[in-house]
Chain A
Amino acid sequence: MNPEFIHSLQDLLPQIQGYIYPNEIEIHWGLLIVVYPYITGVVAGAFILASLVKVFNVREVQPLYRLSLLTALAYLLVAPMALVAHLGHPERFYEILLTPQTSSAMAMFGFVYAWYLMAVLLLEVWFVHRTDMIGWAEQEKGVMRFIHRTLALYSRDTGERAVAFDHKALKAITIVGIPSAFLLHGYVGFIFGSIKANPWWSSVLIPIVFLFSAIVSGVALVILLYMVLTPLTGGKISMRCVDKAIDFLFYAVIVDFSLELVDFIHRVYQSEEEIKILSEMVMSKLFASLIIIQVLLGMLIPLLLISLTKIFKKRVSLNEDLRKMIYFISVILIQFGIFATRWNVVIGGQMFSKSFRGLTTYKMEFGGIEGLLFAILLLALPIIILAVLMKVLPPWKEVHGEGASEGVEVAG
């Protein structure tokens, strides 16, 4: 037994308010489980953004297409790491795949994840890049030539029929992909929403709220990456593209905000037995993360900022640089807001006692598996993976708007 761990629990004792069941002092799902829905949310959101191009034919955001697919893939690869790392017995994680219990929402993770990775993302990424990889391999030498050959699975056919098949396949995969992305993140919401013991989680709206906050975080992150990477790689940011993407982000934030407001009003109006302890928690333990970061900084201020650009764009032509800055600030604020949303769901759901008589507290560690350092590492890892992916499958032609017209025809 770890004496430090016992010591840390003892430190929490004076901070308990009211009465909690004695076993409740330890917050079981910590920072790692906050990171997990944040990351899967980005995956689902980025994919939905990509599907705007392929299925809904939004030509303006074509430069974001490959970038968002690669972002989704990079984040998806990291998602299970947070889960496995937080287990008491990480070495037994395979049990969940080999002997899953069908009644458990969590046991379905392996299947939902595998479906999304194999049947949707990898396939789509492959079909998108197949002809390019063949082209690159022809011009390259050495290792990169080998990598591209292998990744293209040694296909060499760039004839008209093969390309036409690629396009057809892409459309089909994206159409399957949209409900799959919904499934992936709606499912993550269900893991929490189906726990009847916990009134903070137990709500039919939770999967839907998760879904929309996922779209918000994914779209915002891809816009952020686009705005940072394009100038860094010598391209020019297409304001047509960013304006359009911000439009979608704006509506997604409105829907997300309304849903959360509906949930809030519903709870307050119904005012069931847990309402006292929940409002106490919101007003004390979650005040900074929920009221300030999630609602004010993460939603209202970005909404206000983006509305300003919309209002003034028509009357006075708003300076492009100013607009860029406003967008940039908004998408960063939104990232913090959505991370706070995950925090409030996961940590908030464990800070009140199921006796509804008291509150415990969460003390974040710095080092160790459940600590801040490891969480930051997990959040940085997708960016590193993305850098590698972009080295192997460079999206620059599209990001810089050079191959755009070709892509639009594909979408048509």
Chain B
Amino acid sequence: MNGRRTFLRGFFSVLLSGGAIGGILKILPSKADAREAPPKGQKWYGFGVSVDKCIGCARCMEACKSENNVPREPFFYRTWVERYITRKNGTTTVKAIEPNAEALPETTSDKSILRSFFVPKLCNQCASPPCVQVCPVGATFQTKDGVVLVNERTCIGCRYCIQACPYGARYLHPATHTADKCTFCYHRISRGLLPACVEVCPTQARIFGDLNAAASPMSRFLRMNKIHVLKPGLNTEPKVYYANLDGEVR
């Protein structure tokens, strides 16, 4: 009797602690929801930004808003363009340019300016996306080809993903009350078209394509440039790659 009781007690405690440790191990890895790049032959989308080519015309922002029904108000963007001005005294000021605004003042005449440039921003479509990790209902997810999407029919609007995104790429859509962000224009790319912002960019500052393709504008971009990503220290593994990115950009 005693032997059986001891056995059962031991058995259940092992079972319980084993279950607990197993459960923790299952939950803990930060990349629980990260996808590794698939083998060659399968699509794995990425995005390139040539910082030096961007002229801050804001046509990408316009195109994005029309293409994706993004609210017109200046508080909701799937993509935006920042203007950096670094002065000789070392200070840097940043401004997001507004579509439809009057032409920005030239910087060449202002002698106190050391350098200035534009940086397009969008969802980084991280390979290890923190937004996907925190979504309590799995409404935001990563597709097989590496694009992070939001299912607006299951999103509960808790906004945890907005908090978890280090890049400010997400907003709560004021009409649907669900999280929204850049999808690389998934409805277009899955038909072989380019994302709207890439399509309209007059200087080809934006490049889009399959990172697995042997020869494509995207792979050429990665081959021909020194590449950087935003906030690499957070280990989110962004798939939006920047060429000639300035250290001031965060």
Residues from chain A with a CB closer than 8 A to the CB of B130 are: 195-197
> Is B117 on the interface with A (CB-CB < 8 A)?
no
Tell whether A26 pairs with B163 under 8 Å between CB atoms, given A1-B71, A100-B136, A102-B26: no
- C-alpha spacing A194/B130, complex, angstroms: 10
- C-alpha spacing A2/B137, complex, angstroms: 26
> Is B147 on the interface with A (CB-CB < 8 A)?
no
- Interface size for B (C-beta < 8 A) is 51
With beta carbons under 8 angstroms apart, the residue of B95, B158, B174 that contacts A106 is B158
B246 CB to closest chain A CB (Å) equals 13
> Is B94 on the interface with A (CB-CB < 8 A)?
yes
Interface of B is mostly: loop
At the interface with chain B, which of A89-97, A333-341, A377-385, A403-411? A89-97
With beta carbons under 8 angstroms apart, the residue of B27, B73, B250 that contacts A356 is B250
> Is A353 on the interface with B (CB-CB < 8 A)?
yes
Residues from chain B with a CB closer than 8 A to the CB of A104 are: 133-137, 160
- Of chain A, the residue at the smallest CB distance from B158 is A87
> Is A225 on the interface with B (CB-CB < 8 A)?
no
B54 CB to closest chain A CB (Å) equals 16
Residues from chain A with a CB closer than 8 A to the CB of B95 are: 19
Other than A93-B156, A96-B156, A104-B136, give 6 A-B pairs with Cβ distance below 8 A: A102-B27, A103-B27, A194-B134, A195-B134, A197-B163, A354-B167
> Is B154 on the interface with A (CB-CB < 8 A)?
yes
Taking each of B27, B156, B174, which has the highest tally of chain A beta carbons within 10 Å of its own beta carbon? B156
Residues from chain A with a CB closer than 8 A to the CB of B176 are: 88
- Interface size for A (C-beta < 8 A) is 46
* B interface residues with partner A (beta carbon < 8 Å): 26-27, 32-33, 71, 73-77, 80, 82, 93-96, 121, 130, 132-139, 154-160, 162-172, 174-178, 234, 250
Tell whether A6 pairs with B73 under 8 Å between CB atoms, given A19-B95, A354-B166: yes
A88 pairs with B158, CB closer than 8 A: yes
A262 CB to closest chain B CB (Å) equals 24
11 contacts between A and B (CB under 8 A): A19-B95, A21-B96, A22-B96, A25-B75, A95-B154, A100-B137, A103-B27, A195-B163, A195-B164, A197-B165, A197-B166
Tell whether A357 pairs with B94 under 8 Å between CB atoms, given A1-B71, A23-B168, A197-B166: yes
B174 pairs with A1, CB closer than 8 A: yes
> Is A107 on the interface with B (CB-CB < 8 A)?
yes
Residues from chain A with a CB closer than 8 A to the CB of B170 are: 23
Residues from chain B with a CB closer than 8 A to the CB of A172 are: none
- C-alpha spacing A328/B180, complex, angstroms: 48
- C-alpha spacing A105/B27, complex, angstroms: 9
Q: Would you give the 0/1 interface string for A319-352, flagging 1 where the beta carbon is closer than 8 Å to chain B?
A: 0000000000000000000000000000001100
B163 CB to closest chain A CB (Å) equals 6
A235 CB to closest chain B CB (Å) equals 44
Q: Would you give the 0/1 interface string for A101-124, flagging 1 where the beta carbon is closer than 8 Å to chain B?
A: 111111101000000000000000
> Is A271 on the interface with B (CB-CB < 8 A)?
no
Residues from chain A with a CB closer than 8 A to the CB of B175 are: 1
Tell whether A23 pairs with B76 under 8 Å between CB atoms, given A88-B156, A89-B177: yes
- Of chain A, the residue at the smallest CB distance from B163 is A195
With beta carbons under 8 angstroms apart, the residue of B96, B171, B174 that contacts A6 is B174
With beta carbons under 8 angstroms apart, the residue of B134, B165, B168, B177 that contacts A105 is B134
Residues from chain A with a CB closer than 8 A to the CB of B71 are: 1
Residues from chain A with a CB closer than 8 A to the CB of B234 are: 196-197
B240 CB to closest chain A CB (Å) equals 15
Q: Would you give the 0/1 interface string for A56-93, flagging 1 where the beta carbon is closer than 8 Å to chain B?
A: 00000000000000000000000000000011110011
- Of chain A, the residue at the smallest CB distance from B166 is A197
Residues from chain B with a CB closer than 8 A to the CB of A107 are: 136-137
Taking each of A23, A29, A93, A109, which has the highest tally of chain B beta carbons within 10 Å of its own beta carbon? A23
Q: List the 4 shortest-distance A-B pairs measured between CB atoms, nearest first.
A: A88-B157, A21-B168, A88-B177, A197-B166
B166 pairs with A196, CB closer than 8 A: yes
> Is A138 on the interface with B (CB-CB < 8 A)?
no
